[in-house]
Structure 1
Amino acid sequence: MQKTALLIIDVQNAMFHESNPIYDGEQLLKNLQDLINRARTVNIPVFFVQHNDEEFKSGTSAWEIHSSIAPNVGEVVIQKHTPDSFHETELHEKLQTEQIKNLVVAGNQTEYCVDTTSRRAYSLGYNVTLVKDAHRTWDSSALSAQQIIDHHNEVLGNAFAALKETKEVQFS
């Protein structure tokens, strides 16, 4: 049987700040809480990815993973500096150590880190499931956040990932 892990990308406090909150952030947090709780209940490992840059400076409140989905003691937290959660990080090594073959992907930001990480995971040979109602972004000058999410669900779902809604994800 192939092992599965839940990968939560960049769900950090700055993304929920009232001055510029991510689109539909409260629902995102509810969906992530559901996924994380169900994964933990059946001992599916949860991996967290935490972005680091000028806005997300290590040790600051903005950088911290949102408290409503905070990692438990012993859960892996990967630090990254690019949209690719695998680039110059220990993620692939840690997943291989756990003999993970299936990745359930959720988090932020749809068109950058979620997209890039999903494609890279696929290229590395993982079976990727993108939780289509558990990743978010902001409006751009050209598209609404929902249009960006819908577009990436379609593109990633056509070539790189199976698409499932939160309620459809089965951990076993």
Structure 2
Amino acid sequence: MTTPSGRPGTALLVIDVQNGVVDKAWQRDAVIANIATLVARARAGQVPVIWVQHSDDEDLRLGSDPWEYVPELPPADGEPVVHKRYGDAFEATDLEERLAERGVGRLVVAGAASDGCIRCTIHGAFTRGYGVTLVSDAHTTQDLTRWGAPSPDQVIAHTNMYWNYQSAPGRTAGTVETAGVSFTAA
């Protein structure tokens, strides 16, 4: 599979930066500031910003405070919000349609959680033919070491490291820091 035909555009995909997802996340404020920078640059360049918002029947009930996006990152009028219930933002959502409407074949990804919905979605996008750039300093996760996970900084470093080595015909993967993000195809 190659990048969706006739879709040369790029979009910023902001995943699950919700109160209940990032309230105890590693370097929360710095990551949110980086995402805010990306959102402002995308908007200034008329690059689509697509928001992804997770819900479940326990911690992230639709309409609850934990489900809401953090106050520092309000979606603008007209920017689509994709509602999901699975890790991969493409599963059982209208994300593909929102991207097709905008001619998007390349994603710049930021948000949470690095070891959950970020990984699921970047892999899901890549296997569906999208080029995927993960913003290395604009994703985060909570500390899950009490359940045997590596520390958050190690989870993020590992996610960044392995995403630089993904390859497939007709699409690209990789990471870049916020300051180096380009919303035009390389």
TM-score normalized by the length of structure 2 = 0.87
CA RMSD of aligned residues (A): 1.3
Q: How does 1:17-36 map to 2 (within 5 A)?
A: 17=23, 21-36=24-39
Within the candidate set 80, 83, 86, 1:76 is matched to 80
CA distance in 2, matches of 1:12, 1:40: 20
One-letter code of the match for 1:56? L
- The residue number in structure 1 matching 2:18 is 12
Is 1:153 matched with 2:157? no
Within the candidate set 156, 159, 181, 1:169 is matched to 181
Moved more, 159-168 or 98-107: 159-168
Within the candidate set 122, 125, 138, 1:121 is matched to 125
Inter-CA distance 154–16: structure 2 relative to 1 (3 Å threshold): closer
- The residue number in structure 2 matching 1:52 is 55
CA distance in 1, matches of 2:22, 2:113: 12
Q: Which runs of 4+ in 1 moved over 3 A?
A: none
Identity %: 38
Cα contact 1:115–1:156 (8 A) shared by 2: no
Within the candidate set 135, 142, 166, 1:138 is matched to 142
Alpha-carbon displacement from aligned partner over 1:54-95 (angstroms, at most 9, x marks no partner):
111111111001111110011000000010100000001110
- The residue number in structure 2 matching 1:96 is 100
Moved more, 72-81 or 132-141: 132-141
Secondary structure of residue in 2 paired with 1:68: coil
Inter-CA distance 120–16: structure 2 relative to 1 (3 Å threshold): closer
Aligned length: 169
**TM-aligned CA deviation for residue 44 of structure 1:** 0.3
TM-score normalized by the length of structure 1 = 0.94
Cα contact 1:44–1:171 (8 A) shared by 2: yes
Structure 1 unaligned blocks of 5 or more: none
Cα contact 2:107–2:131 (8 A) shared by 1: yes
Choose between structure 1 and 2: higher helix proportion. Answer: 1
Is 1:42 matched with 2:72? no
Cα contact 2:27–2:140 (8 A) shared by 1: yes
Structure 2 unaligned blocks of 5 or more: 1-6, 168-172
Secondary structure of residue in 1 paired with 2:118: helix
